[in-house]
Structure formats: C-alpha cells, structure tokens
Amino acid sequence: MNIEEVQSTTKKQRIATHTHIKGLGLEANGKAIALAAGFVGQAAAREASGLVVDMIRQKKMAGRALLLAGPPGTGKTALALGISQELGSKVPFCPMVGSEVYSSEVKKTEVLMENFRRAIGLRIKENKEVYEGEVTELSPEETESVTGGYGKNISHVIIGLKTVKGTKQLKLDPTIYDALIKEKVAVGDVIYIEANSGAVKRVGRSDAFATEFDLEAEEYVPLPKGEVHKKKEIVQVKLTPVLHLLSSDFCIAEIPDESVSDMYVIAIIFGDVLNIDNVFLLIKYRPGAGGGDKDVTLHDLDAANARPQGGQDILSLMGQMMKPRKTEITDKLRQEINKVVNRYIDEGVAELVPGVLFIDEVHMLDMECFSYLNRALESSLSPIVIFATNRGICTVRGTDMISPHGIPVDLLDRLVIIRTETYGPADMIQILAIRAQVEELVVDEESLAYLGEIGQTASLRHAVHLMSPASVVAKMNGRDNICKADLEEANTLYLDAKSSAKLLQEQQDRYIS
C-alpha cells in the first residue's frame, strides 16, 4: 500500500531579523501593551505609530511624511514593519533603502518616482447583476426569416425562474439561447444568468425532482434563496498584470475557462501613448489565487504601457527579440495614465488606495533627491512616506551643509518625527527570549541574562547573532538546550564592532591605514 503525505501549499518564510514582528501590539484604545505582537518597550513610539495607522486607514495621511529617528538597534525598521502588518495586505507597502537610488542606467529621481507609484494601489470595482433560480418555463419565440423561404429565426427566449422568495419571467436575447442549448438546460434545472456578459451556468437539477429515477448521475441542488434578481459589487484587489494588445474600449468580459471559476479580464485603454494607437494593459484576475498575485499599483500600469508586448507592430516585435533593459518611463506616459485613472475614479469604476513608502537610511540620499521629495510629497498622487535614520547632526550628502539627521531643514519642516529610545537590560532579555522562541532554540534564564549583558556592552544585534553559533556548539557537546558556557565559547570566537575597533586602536601600527 502506497501512502503519501500531502505537502502544505502555504508559503514557507525564512526566519529573518524581523520575523517575530506581527504588528504594533496596541490595545483598542491605542495604548501600547508592554509585551505584544513581538514588540517590547518603545511604548511612546508604538502609540505614535498606531495613530499614523488610524490616519492611513481614514485616508487622512496621504502626502504626509514621517521620520523614525533613533540610535542603531532601537527598532526603527521593526516599527515600519509593524505599521505594514497593522495595515494588512490590502494596503501597498513598498520598502526601499536610500542607496537604491544610485544607478548607472536610470536617474535618481526616476527610481524615487517608481517607488512612489509602487506604493499607490488601484482597486477596480464591478457591479454584477445575476438572475438565479429554477427554470419553470423555457420557450423560444420564432419569427419569419428575413431571407424568405421556410426558415425561422429565434427573435427572443421567454424563460421563467423560481426561487424561495418568488418567480420572474425574463425575455432574453437570442444569443443567450445558444448558451442555454450548450449547457443543456431543461425545465427543472437550477441556473444563473449574468446580465452584464450574458453568460449562462447550469448549477444542477432542482432537488424537487430527486425521486424521479432510482439510478441517475445528476447533481441535485436546493432551490436558491432570496430574489431571482441579485445585485452585488465585486472589488477586484488581487491582480496579476499580463501584457496584451486589445481592440476594444474599457470592458469587463468573462473568459470561458472551465478550470478557474470567476475569471475576469479588465482592459484599460490608453490611446496615443508612445505614438502607437490602442496600447492597452490587460489585467487577469483570479480570486483566491496565491503566490504571484499582488495588488495592482500605478507602477504596474506604467511598466506595462512603457513596454507593450504581444503586438504585431515593429516596436513590440523588436522588444520581444532584444534583451530587456532598464529604461526610464516618460512623464508624458505617466500623465496619460493619471488622466485615465482619474476618469475612472470620477465614474466610480476604480478607487485609489494610497499605501506606504518606507525609505530606510534616508541620510544616504543627496540634495537632488531631497529637493525632488519636497515636490513629490505635495503632489495629488502621493503615498504616505516613512523615513528612517540613525544619524545625528551630520552633513547632507553631496554638500558641506550640516543638518540634523543629514536631512535639509526645509524637508525636516514637513516631517513628523517619532523618536526611538535605547533598550534597557530587562527589555533586551525579553527581546532575546522572543528571538529564541522564533528560532526554536531552548535557552535557560542564566544564558538569557548573559546575552542581555552582551547586548548592553556590545549591541542587541550581536547578542542575537551569537544564539545560532551557540546552538551549534551545544549540539556538538550533545545537548539540545543552550547554556552559558556555549555562549561564552561563541563570544570568544566572534568579535563585536566595539571590541574590533578597540583592537584596531591598540594594534594600529600593524594595519595599513
């Protein structure tokens, strides 16, 4: 007998530095819980971040900026990740580092604008009308053929539908009759008809006819509840961009695919873009699909229309043959996309979701980037921007100007600053205990106290880094739990930054300087 274990399809996540952060750990009234959601201490900073999360949810924070300032190892990146966890997956969160803007192929300001537009999501809504019920009557109405002779044409179809709440008689287009024949619909079947697309789906046979035959391979379903005519709004958030060329205006059409239920195509037209007529973005939607699906953002629309594929024009054919290269997206293209997006927002078809752009090590940006950020923060399409830095008073990169946090004063004036404080010994021990639990390590109280001492003298990161080597040492000694001796051995093998600097000062004559 062959027995196989079914593997879980859930995404396995590698244990990283901030894996233990699950949120901000706040009560309903916004007060910080001492130990919750992986956070320890930093009560004031967490409460301030909680207010920011509330403002983002109420869409009152768009175009504003926030600065997380504090010494190294005080949880600035953890706070930003906590904000993203609190907002959930429906709000775009785009993290980047200040040094990412420096590229030999693309301008610094272009990289910033790309990330700005990555942090703005687009939610597309569709109003769906469905007629559902048990077929009580099905009679096609025929008329004389326009060509003469004995031929007949079906002018319309009269169909009666019944639910628990009532019955309705519908007069349908002759094209729907073909769909009814294809689905082999008969009186007594339960069906639903989509009013927008005219799609017909046979659900099964009504359970009132279940006793007709002893042996039958028919699926019996109960009589539908509610009214025959139902209206519902579908918000399409999870979207996978697929490039294509189409020849129709904005439409929502159903793809006939048996394997995937409720698959839709949304085509957005952009005329006169890059001097090519009818350049489109085709977005394929699969509800509940995991893995590669993500929220569609304004950058997805930019990238798709900057490099159209699948067409027969010379640009598309050359683009398919040549090696893809990082290129800039023009302002003209972005303005065209903004016009179309704004039109659909006005019509109520789409809705913008301003997300969060997190720029870590913001002191790495130079004066050009800061002046560009001043303008970008005040534009109508701007996300919430969170900066983080561990610098005190230092020079602004690329200039001789000295400024707090390495940020020009005119940009600092636009920021709300949240300060993070250094952790005490008790807080460090609690953080190390949480990390040990996440990494599935067994550490006793004495060892945690010793790690807390290392965290105070060296740094919290160094104390966390010593846990994995100490677990290997413990296993080599035939133990599952980590004791103080294992940590002492690991500590003698690996130097921290302060010890290394002290050693360099003492032995500077032996090194090349």
pLDDT at res. 214: 57
Q: Which long-range contacts (CB under 8 A, 24 or more apart) does 34-40 make?
A: 35/430, 37/82, 37/85, 38/78, 38/434, 39/75, 39/78, 39/82, 40/423, 40/427, 40/430, 40/431, 40/434
Angle at 380 between CA 377 and CA 386, to 5 degrees: 30
List, in order of start, the domains of the chain with CATH numbers: 35-119+355-419 (3.40.50.300), 126-233 (2.40.50.360), 237-347 (no CATH), 442-503 (1.10.8.60)
Residues 6+ apart with CB under 8 A from 171: 156, 157, 158
Host H or E run for residue 404: strand 402-404
pTM of the full structure: 0.66
Residues sharing a CB contact under 8 Å with residue 414, sequence separation 6 or more, in sequence order: 65, 374, 377
Which pLDDT score, from 0 to 100, does residue 294 have? Answer: 53
Quickly list DSSP for 185-216.
Answer: --TTEEEEEETTT--EEEEEEEGGGTTS-SS-
Q: What is the mean pLDDT of each run of 10 residues along the chain (513 residues)?
A: 62 64 80 78 85 82 81 84 83 87 84 88 78 87 71 80 87 83 87 82 83 67 84 53 31 33 35 32 36 65 70 59 66 86 83 86 89 86 87 87 89 88 85 84 86 86 87 87 87 86 86 79
Q: Given the DSSP bridges, would you call strands 65-69 and 39-40 parallel, antiparallel or unpaired?
A: unpaired
State which H helix or E strand residue 432 sits in.
helix 425-438
AA letter at 150: Y
What are the CA-CA distances from residue 297 to residues 240, 411, 473 (Å)? 11, 26, 47
pLDDT at 387: 92
Radius of gyration of the CA atoms of the chain, in A: 31
Q: Which two tokens stand for residue 470?
A: 């100490």
Q: Do 168 and 161 touch, CB atoms closer than 8 A?
A: yes
Q: Where are the alpha helices (DSSP H) in 133-197?
A: 174-182
